[in-house]
């Protein structure tokens, strides 16, 4: 491999690491149930906060619905993290390496 190609690959690797660090430091929000449950995650999939509308819990059925809504909000946020990670990292992979990130 020629030295110019090696330098380009090293730069691309540094850019990928920097992009991944920026993604991990980013904040993502998810919600479900018409903003009934809201969650906040970091880009490395760590939940920071959950907000639940307290007016919801009046009965056992409400609690079960709330639990389902929490799961939906968390999944919504994780999907946003995955979508953004794919969007950012595809700049480096050209979309040709599925499952890499």
The 8-class DSSP code of residue 84 comes to: H
Whether pLDDT at 96 is above 70:
no
Mean pLDDT, residues 36-60: 87
Q: What distance in Å separates the CA atoms of residue 49 and residue 42, rounded to the nearest whole number?
A: 10
Nearest-angstrom CA–CA distance, 3 and 27 = 38
Q: How do residues 25-46 score in pLDDT, each as one tens digit?
A: 999 999 998 888 999 999 988 8
* Architecture of domain 27-93 in this structure: 2-Layer Sandwich (3.30)
For the chain, give the mean pLDDT.
Answer: 86
Number of helical (H) and strand (E) elements in the chain, helices listed first: 2, 3
Write down the pLDDT at residue 54: 82
What pLDDT sits at residue 57? 78
């Amino acid at each position: 491999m020629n030295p110019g190609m090696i330098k380009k690959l090293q730069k691309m690797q540094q850019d990928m690491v920097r992009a991944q660090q920026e993604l991990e430091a980013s904040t993502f929000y998810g919600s479900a149930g018409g903003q009934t449950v809201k969650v906040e995650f970091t880009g490395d999939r760590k939940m920071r906060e959950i907000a639940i509308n307290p007016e919801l819990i009046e009965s056992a059925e409400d609690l079960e619905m709330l639990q389902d809504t929490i799961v939906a909000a968390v999944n919504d946020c994780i999907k946003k993290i995955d979508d953004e990670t794919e969007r950012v990292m595809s700049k480096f992979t050209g979309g040709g390496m599925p499952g890499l990130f």
